A and B are shown apart, each in its own frame.
Chain A
Amino acid sequence: MPEQPHQPVRDALTETLADQDAGRLADVHGPYFGQFGGRYVPEALIAALDELEAEFRKAQQDPAFAADLSRLHREYTGRPSPLTEVPRFAEHAGGDAVRIFLKREDLNHTGSHKINNVLGQALLVKRMGKSRVIAETGAGQHGVATATAAALMGLECVVYMGEEDTRRQALNVARMELLGATVVPVTLGTRTLKDAINEALRDWVTNVESTHYLLGTVTGPHPFPEMVREFHRIIGAEAREQMLERVGRLPDAVAACVGGGSNALGIFNAFLDDDGVDLYGFEAGGEGIESGRHAARFSGGAPGVLHGARSYLLQDDDGQTRPSHSVSAGLDYPSVGPAHSWLHDIGRATYEPVTDAEAMEAFRLLCRTEGIIPAIESAHALAGVLRVGRRLADAGQRDQVLLVNLSGRGDKDVATAARWFGLLHEEPATEGDQ
């Protein structure tokens, strides 16, 4: 019998705190988050990862870098993103016991939180003197954001995308091409995000001297999980200030969807050291855990190594990666950022699956009650917050304040939603109206 490689971490929280100078969960740095993270990559990439980390550390200390990034946030992305209360939506989550606020990352330029990380890394690429960036994309949001930053900064850009995803997200493929990027459909393996990352890694091993791999989430080898978290830190920092200003106190709970987990970590981070704030990550439950067709790493996975990091992973008894499934391409990934695995093991955040059907119901509800079309990824967080709100109301709690990261807008998902709800009746297209 194979041994179970995973030992539960008992005193991980205490140990981790003792390890860190600052003692704050929000400042834990790589390469390890508890027993997770690391650098499980070919030796050929180590020099580039070291170079990237060194440049990142220098940039963190450089006021000019902070000023450049802050100017781009303000003048290009449109930050700070607003905080919107959604009372008509909140009625469906426990009547009047619950107030829900959305952090509007959907209103950023390019339509999601992804731009925060992309601009930060693109500035680093300029500092390192590299001329070419490559990226993986699932839903296309990270690919669009990368193509955007590459256009802005005059970098060559190649985006790897699973063939299956290029079909699901054809509009985003066109968007990337309009921005001057080359989109390479990946026809290997499951033809989704995981295989796009494999192809991007192969490209990087080959072209590492001229090329930066602009990884789109808090996964991958060190320093990516920490660095990408730092570039998304602004989401939570703004939201925290906005909550204090609007409500006069911190929220009772914060919710986000978790694919790789960058938007979740970005908003969680500002509240990690506030004991009174519960943190919820919602994974893609797909067609249900029992169906086997899902991307719920914490419910249906075990610790393992994929794409450079040790983390929770969907895998079979032989350590082969099991294909994930979700209605949302952006959550359709068999592993998760190592910091989330750590937060899960130390009990600081709670991770629950949300099925395709629950997410689509929440998607429709937000459209109809608030006039906001969310990304299907973000709709998982909305479905989750409805669940949390009802639970609190059922438990007799009152005056609960819940904060949701609305990580992206749903324009890219209109075709999927229209099919899901059977809205494509007769004429499939009315382009003559334009």
Chain B
Amino acid sequence: MTRTVTTSPTATRLDALRAQGRPALVGYLPVGYPDVERSVQAMTTMVDAGVDVVEIGVPYSDPVMDGPVIQQAAEAALAGGARVRDVLRVVEAVAERSGGEVPALVMSYYNPVLRYGVAAFARDLAAAGGAGMITPDLIPDEADDWNAAADEHGLDKVYLVAPSSTPERLRLTAQASRGFVYAASTMGVTGTRASVGDRAEQLVADTRAAGASHVCVGLGVSTGEQAAEVGRFADGVIVGSAFVRTLLGEEPWPERLEALGEVTRELAAGVARARTGVAGGDA
């Protein structure tokens, strides 16, 4: 039976941070890189170093929204035998580690979820303590099954908007989303960029005007400075490739974890000072 969902795990967290006067740092890592156990270690390292919301990536054979860094990690994870059921195990571990304080969102292309069974995936994700799912290649127009399953299990539904989205699509997407709306800062795929597009701020404003209560920005953020700049106007700053990149090297694993922790702390400091009036390139 469908029950009415009144609270969103992720929005609750964003509201708590908003009350503290800062945006959230949302961190992405794929499950299974370099293997399932160590991907759990990496995610908990990220949480301990200051990530507020974790985005747990399902490695997929055809990630069309991802640039070379995340592609490489996903390909290696699949070659190493990572499975969709491992994702649920990782969700459980992350949720446990933070005592439920840090929402664990799954990020998945649609076909792995479709194959698992949309209703079954929602049920198992909720049972594992997951907060919801981000769907880069599923638009609300095609998402009747997922919307129903997410509603039944109280899961967040995070859809994307882009600088090319029309006002009508912003409204549709804002209405369909729960938790937050993921605003792509620029036209493109994931990866680090020298600057975050200047269209991001306008897109966040337009998305709010279209009815979204929480908007987080992703694509291209890799430095504390960029995080501070984006955090000035967004409810959350989403970082992926910059974290994944620290894990790709040949260095011993503890050193790679150390590098991940360092990048996390830099980005966390960025979001912490985002609204103190000294943020941005001039700070």
Contacts and interface: CB of A to CB of B under 8 A. Distances in A.
A104 to B, nearest CB: 36
Contacts of B187: 44, 205-209
A318 interface: yes
A388 interface: no
B165 A47 contact: yes
B169 A46 contact: yes
Contacts, number: 124
Nearest to B71: A188
Interface string A203-220: 001111100000000000
Given A2-B120, A202-B189, A42 B115 contact: no
Contact of A189 (B65, B75, B112): B75
Given A39-B142, A202-B189, A208 B164 contact: yes
Interface string A228-251: 000000000000000000000000
Contacts of B142: 38-40
Nearest to A199: B64
Contacts of A201: 64
Contact of B110 (A3, A189, A305, A320): A305
Contacts of A195: 62
Nearest to B63: A198
Contacts of A41: 64, 137, 139
A47 B111 contact: no
Interface string B73-113: 00100100001100000000000000000000000001111
A299 interface: no
Contacts of A48: 164
A43 B159 contact: yes
A305 B142 CA distance: 11
A209 B164 CA distance: 9
A202 B78 CA distance: 21
Nearest to A4: B117
Contacts of A4: 117
Interface residues of A, number: 40
A124 to B, nearest CB: 18
B60 A42 contact: no
Contacts of B202: none
Given A5-B114, A205-B188, A43 B160 contact: yes
Nearest to B163: A44
A198 B115 contact: no
B280 interface: no
A2 to B, nearest CB: 5
Contacts of B137: 40-42, 305, 308
By size class, the interface of chain B is 35 or more
A188 B64 CA distance: 12
B166 interface: yes
A319 B138 contact: no
A317 interface: yes
A189 B118 CA distance: 26
Contacts of B113: 319
B61 A321 contact: yes
Contacts of A194: 62
B139 A3 contact: no
Contacts of A315: 111, 115
Interface string B116-133: 111110000000000000
B144 to A, nearest CB: 11
A304 interface: yes
B141 A188 contact: no
Most chain B CB within 10 A, of A42, A46, A201, is at A42
A39 B164 CA distance: 16
A320 B138 CA distance: 16
B164 A44 contact: yes
Contacts of B112: 318-320
A175 interface: no
A329 interface: no
B75 A305 contact: no
A201 to B, nearest CB: 4
Given A5-B114, A320-B78, A306 B165 contact: no
Contacts of B119: 3
A109 interface: no
A42 B65 contact: yes
A266 to B, nearest CB: 27
A198 B111 contact: no
A307 interface: yes
A318 B111 CA distance: 8
Interface string B186-226: 01110000000000000000000000000000000000000
B173 interface: yes
A315 B142 CA distance: 21
B174 to A, nearest CB: 12
B272 interface: no
B46 interface: no
A104 B159 CA distance: 47
Given A40-B138, A42-B162, A47-B164, A317 B62 contact: no
B184 interface: yes
Contacts of A304: 111, 114-115
14 contacts: A3-B120, A39-B141, A43-B184, A45-B164, A47-B166, A50-B166, A205-B187, A206-B188, A209-B187, A315-B115, A318-B112, A319-B60, A320-B60, A321-B62
Given A2-B120, A318-B116, 17 more contacts: A5-B114, A5-B115, A41-B64, A43-B161, A43-B162, A43-B173, A46-B164, A47-B166, A194-B62, A202-B64, A207-B187, A304-B114, A306-B62, A318-B112, A319-B60, A319-B111, A320-B111
Interface of B: 60-65, 67, 71, 75, 78, 83-84, 110-120, 136-139, 141-142, 159-166, 169, 173, 184, 187-189
The 8 closest A-B pairs by CB, nearest first: A3-B117, A319-B115, A44-B162, A319-B112, A319-B111, A47-B164, A206-B188, A201-B64
